[in-house]
Amino acid sequence: MNKSLLKTNKSKIPVLELRHIVKTYTTGTTTFNALDDVSLCIYRGEFVSITGPSGSGKSTLMHIVGLLDNPSYGQVFLEEQDISHFNEEELAKTRNVTLGFVFQQFNLLAKTSSLENVTLPLLYSDVPKKLRNQLGIEMLKKVGLENKMANTPAQLSGGQQQRVAIARALINDPKIILADEPTGNLDSKSGKEIIELFHKLHREGRTIILVTHDMDLAKQAQRMIIIRDGHVINQKC
């Protein structure tokens, strides 16, 4: 990593910081740590990948980073606020305004148009329908699908469906985009186009966390965090 970039990062406040995270699971009489003393920082405007082999703790770490689960020990800070012990309702509320999720499976509603899928996160908000649609159109334009607004998922290619999912992730203007194996269900050409789209969003100042087992894909990020046997083995804060 560029030394000047590292120096600049260290002068900033992390948008997300994990301190000495432990996540313990118990199966019968056996207790094991899926994460063991994990510390890391994500800075605003970074494109970071989290990678590691199966069983490394990568998925558990994604759940902690994505505010989908609480650690057994340690602290999670979101813009300097300790959210480690938020209850489920508090986590959900924070997650909805902080994170935009992109999943391997797209998770689009089958009989719903691209525009309606994109605006779904705003459905139960105070945003009027007209403004919701305006924002949805803007997000679809950003991912190059302004001519596919009325199409259902069945009328789109896999790459196009993932673009709709990315537009949906952007609709709430999240602080962080968390992408979990976003090219896993795509052919190589479509996968490359999705990564190029993430690079474009990064250049616009978006903070992106890419979770993948694919080392070649992980290397596309600005910075890699490697996890093995529940430990981050390279970069911390």
Give pLDDT tens digits for 108-150.
Answer: 999 999 999 999 998 877 889 999 999 999 999 999 999 999 9
Residues in Cβ contact with 77 at an 8 Å cutoff, skipping those fewer than 6 apart: 14, 16, 17, 18, 19, 83
Check pLDDT > 70 for residue 184: yes
- As a whole number, mean pLDDT of residues 5-12 equals 51
Give pLDDT tens digits for 208-220.
Answer: 999 999 999 999 9
Output the pLDDT for position 6.
46
- Higher per-residue confidence, 1 vs 167: 167
Inside any domain, residue 126: yes
- Measure CA of the first residue to CA of the last residue in the chain; give whole Å: 14
pTM of structure = 0.89
The residue range of the domain holding 177 is 3-232
Check pLDDT > 90 for residue 99: yes
Output the pLDDT for position 10.
47
Give pLDDT tens digits for 186-209.
Answer: 999 999 999 999 999 999 999 999
What helix, strand, coil percent values describe the chain, rounded to 5?
A: 40, 25, 35
- As a whole number, mean pLDDT of residues 163-178 equals 95
β-sheet with 73-78: strand ranges across: 30-43, 14-27, 73-78, 81-82
Mean pLDDT of the chain: 91
Inside any domain, residue 8: yes
Residues 227, 38 contacting (CB under 8 angstroms)? yes
Identify which of 212, 231, 193, 200 has the alpha carbon closest to the alpha carbon of residue 48. 212
Please report, as a single letter, which amino acid is at residue 3: K
Number of domains forming the structure of the chain:
1
Q: How many CA atoms lie within 13 A of 221 on its CB side?
A: 25
Inside any domain, residue 237: no
Assign 97 a pLDDT band (cuts: 50, 70, 90): confident
Inside any domain, residue 57: yes
The alpha carbon of 176 is separated from its chain's Cα centroid by a whole number of angstroms, namely: 6
Residues 76, 23 contacting (CB under 8 angstroms)? no
* C-alpha dist (Å) from residue 187 to 108, 184, 194: 19, 8, 11
Check pLDDT > 60 for residue 11: no
Check pLDDT > 70 for residue 3: no
Output the pLDDT for position 163.
96
Residues 98, 78 contacting (CB under 8 angstroms)? yes
Inside any domain, residue 219: yes
CATH number at residue 165: 3.40.50.300
Inside any domain, residue 228: yes
Output the pLDDT for position 9.
53
Check pLDDT > 70 for residue 221: yes
